[in-house]
Amino acid sequence: MDLRKGKGLKKVMEKAKADFKKFTLTEEDYYAVEIAMNVARGFLKLPDITPEQIIGIGYALHALEQLPMVTEGTNCEFGLEYQAGSEEDKEYIMFGISETYLDITIGISDYNNALVSDTPNQPRWRVEIGGTRNTKCDLSELEDSIEEYLNLGAELVVNKKGNIHI
């Protein structure tokens, strides 16, 4: 490769740019992606889902299906919130995907005084585009937990912040 003429350098830069737009996923990460897609498809079958929620989950599902490639403009979250006990406490299971991360979070939020504080060391499965990983979340019973929360009357939450061009 002759870098002096710029042709080789251009190819190296294109390859580096392409690699940057791609997640490095393990076999366990693909299992997490499969769970996220199954949950998203299940949510789409809920009888009370709104058109806005369908669109947000659809965008997230599209981005999940494209992995390990990054879907430009992606920034979606979907999951369940369940009010547990007092009005201030909510349990949640959230799935998120953006241009920079894939995330599954299970936690409890305390909404005292309009401030949200998530449980420290909450179970999470997070993979970032730069290679940072946090895979402490036990994925084996996640789909069963979703079903239990739905049976308890949990609320579907969908946030679409990005702008995907499909």
In a domain, 63, yes or no: yes
In a domain, 18, yes or no: no
In a domain, 131, yes or no: yes
Contacts made by residues 142-147, CB under 8 angstroms, sequence distance 24+: 142/35, 142/39, 142/93, 142/104, 142/106, 143/35, 143/38, 143/39, 145/93, 145/106, 146/39, 146/42, 146/80, 146/93
In a domain, 2, yes or no: no
In a domain, 6, yes or no: no
Count of domains observed in the chain: 1
In sign, the C-alpha dihedral spanning 144, 133, 160, 67 is negative
In a domain, 7, yes or no: no
- pLDDT tens digits for 14-26? 555 545 589 999 9
Q: State which H helix or E strand residue 55 sits in.
A: helix 51-66
- pLDDT tens digits for 21-67? 899 999 999 999 999 999 999 999 999 999 999 999 999 999 999 99
In which band, very low, low, confident or very high, does the pLDDT at 161 lie, cut at 50, 70 and 90?
confident
What residues make up the domain containing 88? 23-160
In a domain, 116, yes or no: yes
- For residues 141-157, give the mean pLDDT: 95
In a domain, 41, yes or no: yes
62 neighbors 72 (Cβ within 8 angstroms): no
Say how far apart CA 108 and CA 88 lie, in whole Å.
10
Query: In the block, which residue shows the tokens 């949990």?
Result: 154
**What CA–CA distances, in Å, run from 88 to 1, 25, 146, 153?**
62, 37, 21, 17
Averaged confidence pLDDT in the chain: 85
